[in-house]
């Protein structure tokens, strides 16, 4: 089965992990700028004020800010049709609550979009990707407060108007369902529970998280409506971190547990953003968890009027759930779960499951019947630079090939898939660990975990492989 003509092959990044220039051009600090690096075993830390002598990976990241022409030229050489990037909110509104935008920040993205256009690469822009302005955390405790919605909409209005002829495809919030999990509070919503916390070990409040999620739902729906009023051609999507969830056995207890987990971690957000209302299972979940959402009268209508045009998601792994307390649960996978004996795992313990991608694409298309985009997928691995400077990342090629094969199966199954933007096309900072060592790219960046390196870019073996994939529209794998 062939991919459709005009299929969007490409790659994905996020400003806080890629752009750097954190205090250049009038940019204010974002929450990610207050996060230290971590390692394989030490979690990232959030500092309420910047500590002298501490290394903050987002500050320089890999300096797309200073390398965008070179980077876009390399993407063009691979034949990219689409480039997923995010706008750094605090580059446009430095504190988040300023009344006037920062012209220098706006100008930077004018230049980036002009460069993409020169190479015929379609931008796909995430409006908020783990980069809540730190000013909003200080003033409101981030998305815990409903007040943030208006600040977000002012930011949307500014960028929609400014880039209405340059950008057609938008995503409102990256991995909005992160807020169903404890680690999402800070990353996705700029919420500090205790003022000083490690990313994986924060003090949790499901009440606050789900209230913040509701604020993001309302903000997203209003942004969709606003975007369509500014340019009716805009295509605006949701973005979900999809963790395909299987039962450990055919014991009905396992099946029900897996279904419940799937509903809350994966489906609740798509249901609200695509169908425009909370699904039935949400009510029971909120009751059982003692969560009382504060809703405004008009929210129901807002959600209905602001449904998305397409559904996008990230896909890295599947997880297995068991209701049996005697069954051993593993760490590694972001959500824990049981080890799947049929699958290999990455060096970071993420269980690699290409067929799970086919399963998920079918699952989603059956439910929503709107175009789908895979906007993140890839293998985080340690790359070795050989003496001659080459990087032979066959493991990455194998991972991506296996997933693309299954994507094509899903298309043959009848799924309307329109884009594949592989994650971290150029090496960048890992979101969960802050490392540079965990690399995804087709392009190597010379920089290590401590921030050393001259930032030079080198194509890996996978660069040439992906170029062939794109040139043959997925036929030459």
Please give the positions annotated as active site. 175, 376
The answer to whether residue 174 forms part of the interface with ligand BGP (CB under 6 A) is yes
- Binder of ligand BGP out of 314, 318, 340, 406 (CB under 6 A): 314
Q: Which of residues 238-297 bind ligand BGP (CB under 6 A)?
A: 241
* CA gap 64, 21 in Å, rounded: 8
Do the bridges between strand 310-321 and strand 235-247 make them parallel or antiparallel, or are there none, so unpaired?
Answer: parallel
Evaluated on CA atoms 465, 466, 468, 473, the torsion sign reads positive
Instruction: Select from 31-39, 197-205, 432-440, 467-475 the region that touches ligand BGP (CB under 6 A).
Output: 432-440
CB of 428 to ligand BGP, least distance (A): 8
376 binds ligand BGP (CB under 6 A): yes
Instruction: Please tell me the distance from the alpha carbon of residue 196 to that of residue 127, in angstroms, as a whole number.
Output: 27
**Does 423 engage in binding with ligand BGP (CB under 6 A)?**
yes
- Looking at the Cβ atoms of 14 and 372, the one nearer to ligand BGP is 14
Q: Which stretch binds ligand BGP (CB under 6 A): 57-65, 112-120, 230-238, 428-436?
A: 428-436
In this structure, what are the phi and psi dihedrals at residue 242, rounded to the nearest 5 degrees?
-95, 120
Look at the alpha carbons of 207, 212, 218, 221 in this order and tell me if their dihedral is positive or negative.
Answer: negative
Window contacting ligand BGP (CB under 6 A); options: 228-236, 250-258, 296-304, 429-437: 429-437
Among 136, 141, 204, 175, residue whose Cα is nearest residue 14? 175
Rounded Cα–Cα distance for residues 347 and 439 (Å): 11
Chain mean position to CA 282: 23
From candidates 38, 123, 354, 380, binder to ligand BGP by CB under 6 A: 380
Rank residues 174 and 197 by Cβ distance to ligand BGP and give the closer one: 174
CB atoms < 10 A from the CB of 10, how many? 25
CB 184 within 8 A of CB 194: no
| One of 430, 436, 462, 469 touching ligand BGP (CB under 6 A) | 430
Minimum distance between the CB of residue 266 and ligand BGP, rounded to whole angstroms? 13
List the one residue from 438, 439, 444, 447 that touches ligand BGP (CB under 6 A).
438
CA torsion angle 352 354 355 358 (round to 10): 130
**Shortest Cβ distance from residue 312 to ligand BGP (Å)?**
11
String of contacts with ligand BGP for each residue 219-248, x by CB under 6 A: ----------------------x-------
Q: How far apart are CA 127 and CA 142, in angstroms?
A: 16
Cα separation, 315 vs 318, in Å, equals: 8
Closest approach of Cβ 238 to ligand BGP, in Å?
13
Which is nearer to ligand BGP, 173 or 278 (by Cβ)?
173
Binding site for ligand BGP (CB under 6 A): 14, 17, 174-175, 241, 314, 376, 380, 423, 430-433, 438
């Amino acid at each position: 089965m062939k991919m459709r003509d005009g299929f969007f092959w490409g790659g994905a990044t996020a400003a806080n992990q890629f752009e750097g220039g954190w205090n250049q051009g009038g940019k204010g600090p974002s929450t990610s700028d207050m996060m230290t690096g971590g390692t394989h075993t030490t979690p990232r830390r959030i500092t309420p004020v910047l500590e002298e002598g501490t290394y903050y990976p987002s500050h320089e990241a890999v300096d797309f800010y200073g390398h965008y022409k070179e980077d876009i030229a390399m993407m063009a050489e691979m034949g990219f049709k689409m480039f997923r990037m995010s706008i750094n909110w605090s580059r446009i509104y430095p504190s988040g609550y300023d009344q006037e935008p920062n012209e220098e920040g706006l100008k930077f993205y004018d230049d980036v979009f002009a460069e993409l256009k020169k190479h015929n690469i379609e931008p796909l822009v995430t409006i908020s990707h783990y980069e809540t302005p730190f000013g909003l955390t200080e003033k409101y405790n981030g998305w815990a407060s409903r007040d943030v919605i208006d600040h977000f909409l002012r930011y949307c209005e500014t960028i929609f108007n400014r880039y209405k002829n340059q950008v057609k495809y938008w995503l409102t919030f990256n991995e909005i369902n992160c807020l169903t999990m404890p680690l999402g509070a800070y990353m996705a919503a700029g919420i500090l529970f205790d003022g000083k916390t490690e990313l994986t070990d924060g003090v949790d409040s499901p009440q606050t998280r789900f209230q913040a999620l509701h604020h993001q739902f309302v903000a997203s729906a209003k942004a969709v409506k606003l975007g369509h009023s500014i340019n009716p051609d805009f295509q605006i999507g949701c973005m979900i971190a999809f963790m395909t969830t299987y039962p450990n056995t055919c014991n009905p207890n396992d099946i029900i547990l897996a279904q419940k987990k799937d509903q809350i971690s994966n489906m609740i957000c798509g249901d609200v953003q695509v169908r425009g209302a909370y699904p039935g299972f949400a009510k029971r979940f909120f009751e059982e968890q003692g969560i009382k959402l504060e809703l405004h009268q008009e929210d129901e209508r807002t959600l209905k009027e602001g449904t998305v045009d397409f559904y996008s998601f990230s896909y890295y792994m599947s997880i297995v759930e068991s209701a049996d307390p005697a069954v051993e649960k593993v760490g590694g996978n972001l959500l824990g779960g049981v080890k799947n004996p049929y699958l290999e795992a990455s060096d970071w313990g993420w269980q690699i499951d290409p067929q799970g991608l086919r399963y998920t694409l079918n699952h989603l298309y059956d439910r929503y019947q709107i175009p789908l985009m895979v906007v993140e997928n890839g293998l985080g691995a340690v790359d070795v630079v050989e003496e001659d400077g080459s990087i032979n990342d066959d493991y990455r090629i194998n991972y991506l090939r296996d997933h693309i094969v299954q994507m094509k199966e899903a298309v043959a199954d009848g799924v309307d898939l329109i884009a594949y933007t592989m994650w971290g096309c150029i090496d960048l900072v890992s979101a969960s660990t802050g490392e540079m060592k965990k690399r995804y790219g087709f392009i190597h960046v010379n920089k290590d975990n401590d921030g050393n390196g001259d930032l030079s870019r080198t194509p890996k073996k996978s660069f040439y492989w992906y170029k062939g994939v794109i040139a043959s529209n997925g036929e030459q794998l």
